[in-house]
Structure 1
Amino acid sequence: MSKTGFRLENAWHPIEGDPSGGFVFTLVNLTDTPISDFKLAYTALTRVMDNPACENATFLLRNANFHQYAPPAGFVLEPGASWRFTVRGLWRPAKHRTDGAKSAYLTFSDGTHHTIDVADLMLEGRVSEPQKPLLPEGRVTEPFSLLPWPKQAKLQAGETPVVLYPAAGSTLADVKAMDTVLSLHRRLFSAAHQPFSLIAVEQGKAIRFQQSGSLAAEAYELTFAEDEIVLAYGGDAGRQYGLTALAQLHDGARRNAALFRFPGSGTITDEPRYGWRGCHLDVSRQFAPAPDVLRLIDILAWYKMNVFHWHLTDDEAWRFEVRAYPQLTTVGVMRGPDEPMLPQLGNAAEPVGGFYTQADVAAIIAHASELNVEVVPEVDIPGHSTAILAALPELVDGQEAPDSYRSVQGFPNNALNPAIEETYVFLGKVFDEMVELFPSKLIHIGGDEVADNTWMASPLARKLMEKEGLDGTFGLQSHFMKRIQKMLAERGRSMAGWDEVSHGGGVDPDGTLLMAWRAPEVGVELAKEGYDVVMTPGQAYYLDMVQDEAWQEPGASWAGTVPPHHTYHYEAVGDFPEDLKPRLRGVQACIWTEHFLNRNYFNHLVFPRLPAVAEAAWTPRERKDWDRFSALVRLSPTL
Structure 2
Amino acid sequence: MASMQRAIHMTDTTLFPQPARLEISGQPYALMKDARIIAEDRALGEALAGYLRPATGFALPVLAADGAASADNTIILEAIAASDSPEAYSLTASGTTLRLRAAHRRGFLHGFQTIRQLLPRQILSSEVVPGVEWTMPGLEIDDEPAFGWRGLHLDVGRHFFPLDFIKKFIDLLAFYKFNTFHWHLTEDQGWRIEIKKYPRLTEVGGFRAETVVGLSNSGEYDGQPYGGFYTQDEIREAVAYAEARGITIVPEIEMPGHAVAALTAYPQLGCRDEGYQVRRRWSIAKDIFCAGKDEVFTFLEDVLDEALALFPSEYIHIGGDEAPKDRWEACPACQARIQSEGLADEHELQSWFIRRIEGWLNARGRKLLGWDEILEGGLAPNATVMSWRGSEGGIAAANAGHDVVMTPNTYCYLDYYQSHDTDSEPLAIPSILPLEQVWDYVVIPEQITKEKRHHILGGQGNIWTEYMPESDHVEYMMFPRAIAIADVLWNHPQERNYAALVERLRQHLPSLDALGVNYRRTDEAASA
Normalization by structure 2: what TM-score? 0.83
- C-alpha distance 310-579 of structure 1, shift in aligned 2 (>3 A): same
Describe how 1:128-147 pairs up with structure 2 within 5 A. Answer: 142-147=11-16
Looking at structure 1, the residues matched to 142 and 33 of structure 2 have their Cα atoms a distance apart, in angstroms, of 19
- C-alpha distance 162-533 of structure 1, shift in aligned 2 (>3 A): same
Choose the corresponding residue for 1:436, options 285, 303, 309.
309
Looking at structure 1, the residues matched to 186 and 169 of structure 2 have their Cα atoms a distance apart, in angstroms, of 19
Looking at structure 2, the residues matched to 393 and 633 of structure 1 have their Cα atoms a distance apart, in angstroms, of 51
Measured after TM superposition, the shift of residue 262 of structure 1 is 4.6
C-alpha offsets along residues 507-564 of structure 1, whole Å, 9 cap, x if unaligned? Answer: 11x3x22110010232111212222011111111111111111122235345x31111
Measured after TM superposition, the shift of residue 331 of structure 1 is 0.7
Q: Is the 8 A contact 2:16 2:176 kept in 1?
A: yes
1:541 is aligned to 412
Choose the corresponding residue for 2:47, options 167, 180, 184.
180
SS of 1:621's partner is coil
- C-alpha distance 359-524 of structure 1, shift in aligned 2 (>3 A): same
Looking at structure 2, the residues matched to 492 and 168 of structure 1 have their Cα atoms a distance apart, in angstroms, of 39
Looking at structure 2, the residues matched to 458 and 152 of structure 1 have their Cα atoms a distance apart, in angstroms, of 60
Q: Is the 8 A contact 1:536 1:588 kept in 2?
A: yes
1:275 is aligned to 148
Looking at structure 1, the residues matched to 271 and 260 of structure 2 have their Cα atoms a distance apart, in angstroms, of 14
C-alpha offsets along residues 119-175 of structure 1, whole Å, 9 cap, x if unaligned? Answer: xxxxxxxxxxxxxxxxxxxxx96221321110000014855624588657532x2x4
2:401 is aligned to 530
Choose the corresponding residue for 2:80, options 189, 196, 212.
212
SS of 2:376's partner is helix
Describe how 1:238-249 pairs up with structure 2 within 5 A. Answer: 238-249=107-118
Describe how 1:428-467 pairs up with structure 2 within 5 A. Answer: 428-467=301-340
- C-alpha distance 433-599 of structure 1, shift in aligned 2 (>3 A): closer
Looking at structure 1, the residues matched to 61 and 440 of structure 2 have their Cα atoms a distance apart, in angstroms, of 39
Measured after TM superposition, the shift of residue 300 of structure 1 is 0.7
Measured after TM superposition, the shift of residue 348 of structure 1 is 2.4
Measured after TM superposition, the shift of residue 492 of structure 1 is 2.2
2:348 is aligned to 475
1:582 is aligned to 454
Looking at structure 2, the residues matched to 622 and 262 of structure 1 have their Cα atoms a distance apart, in angstroms, of 33
Does 1:224 pair with 2:99? no
- C-alpha distance 531-409 of structure 1, shift in aligned 2 (>3 A): farther
Describe how 1:106-505 pairs up with structure 2 within 5 A. Answer: 142-156=11-25, 159=28, 161-163=30-32, 167=36, 170-171=39-40, 173=41, 175-184=42-51, 193=56, 197-198=60-61, 205-213=73-81, 215=83, 216-252=85-121, 262-336=135-209, 342-344=210-212, 348-398=222-272, 409-410=282-283, 412-505=285-378
RMSD of Structure 2 on Structure 1 (CA): 3.0
Does 1:570 pair with 2:444? no
Does 1:631 pair with 2:506? yes
Structure 1: state its 5+ residue gaps: 1-139, 337-341
- C-alpha distance 185-537 of structure 1, shift in aligned 2 (>3 A): farther
- C-alpha distance 394-253 of structure 1, shift in aligned 2 (>3 A): closer
SS of 1:433's partner is helix
Looking at structure 2, the residues matched to 597 and 352 of structure 1 have their Cα atoms a distance apart, in angstroms, of 11
Rg comparison, structure with higher value = 1
- C-alpha distance 158-545 of structure 1, shift in aligned 2 (>3 A): farther
Amino acid across the alignment from 2:150:
R
Amino acid across the alignment from 1:149:
Q
Amino acid across the alignment from 2:488:
A
- C-alpha distance 181-521 of structure 1, shift in aligned 2 (>3 A): farther
- C-alpha distance 299-449 of structure 1, shift in aligned 2 (>3 A): same
C-alpha offsets along residues 183-237 of structure 1, whole Å, 9 cap, x if unaligned? Answer: 3578xxx7x557983369xxx9421222111533211111222241221111111
Measured after TM superposition, the shift of residue 278 of structure 1 is 0.6
- C-alpha distance 454-531 of structure 1, shift in aligned 2 (>3 A): farther
Measured after TM superposition, the shift of residue 466 of structure 1 is 2.1
- C-alpha distance 477-633 of structure 1, shift in aligned 2 (>3 A): farther
Q: Is the 8 A contact 1:253 1:262 kept in 2?
A: no
Q: Is the 8 A contact 1:195 1:251 kept in 2?
A: no
Q: How many residues align?
A: 478
- C-alpha distance 345-297 of structure 1, shift in aligned 2 (>3 A): farther
Q: Is the 8 A contact 1:145 1:253 kept in 2?
A: no
Measured after TM superposition, the shift of residue 240 of structure 1 is 1.4
Looking at structure 2, the residues matched to 221 and 411 of structure 1 have their Cα atoms a distance apart, in angstroms, of 48
Looking at structure 1, the residues matched to 164 and 265 of structure 2 have their Cα atoms a distance apart, in angstroms, of 27
Amino acid across the alignment from 2:79:
Q
Q: Is the 8 A contact 1:178 1:243 kept in 2?
A: no
- C-alpha distance 591-410 of structure 1, shift in aligned 2 (>3 A): closer
SS of 2:120's partner is helix
1:613 is aligned to 485
- C-alpha distance 290-380 of structure 1, shift in aligned 2 (>3 A): same
Looking at structure 2, the residues matched to 572 and 303 of structure 1 have their Cα atoms a distance apart, in angstroms, of 18
SS of 1:631's partner is helix
**Larger helix percent:** 2
Q: Is the 8 A contact 1:163 1:196 kept in 2?
A: no
Looking at structure 2, the residues matched to 286 and 487 of structure 1 have their Cα atoms a distance apart, in angstroms, of 30
Structure 2: state its 5+ residue gaps: 1-8, 64-71, 126-132, 215-220, 519-528
Looking at structure 2, the residues matched to 629 and 196 of structure 1 have their Cα atoms a distance apart, in angstroms, of 33
Looking at structure 2, the residues matched to 176 and 221 of structure 1 have their Cα atoms a distance apart, in angstroms, of 19
2:391 is aligned to 520
Q: Is the 8 A contact 1:151 1:620 kept in 2?
A: no
SS of 1:436's partner is helix
Measured after TM superposition, the shift of residue 613 of structure 1 is 1.0
- C-alpha distance 514-196 of structure 1, shift in aligned 2 (>3 A): farther
Describe how 1:555-566 pairs up with structure 2 within 5 A. Answer: 555-558=427-430, 560-566=431-437
2:469 is aligned to 597
- C-alpha distance 399-438 of structure 1, shift in aligned 2 (>3 A): closer
SS of 2:432's partner is coil
- C-alpha distance 539-213 of structure 1, shift in aligned 2 (>3 A): same
C-alpha offsets along residues 224-276 of structure 1, whole Å, 9 cap, x if unaligned? Answer: 222412211111111111122112101348799xxx99544331000011000
- C-alpha distance 599-436 of structure 1, shift in aligned 2 (>3 A): closer
1:10 is aligned to none
Amino acid across the alignment from 2:398:
A
2:69 is aligned to none
Measured after TM superposition, the shift of residue 318 of structure 1 is 0.5
**Larger strand percent:** 1
- C-alpha distance 305-399 of structure 1, shift in aligned 2 (>3 A): closer
Looking at structure 2, the residues matched to 391 and 622 of structure 1 have their Cα atoms a distance apart, in angstroms, of 50
Q: Is the 8 A contact 1:535 1:584 kept in 2?
A: yes
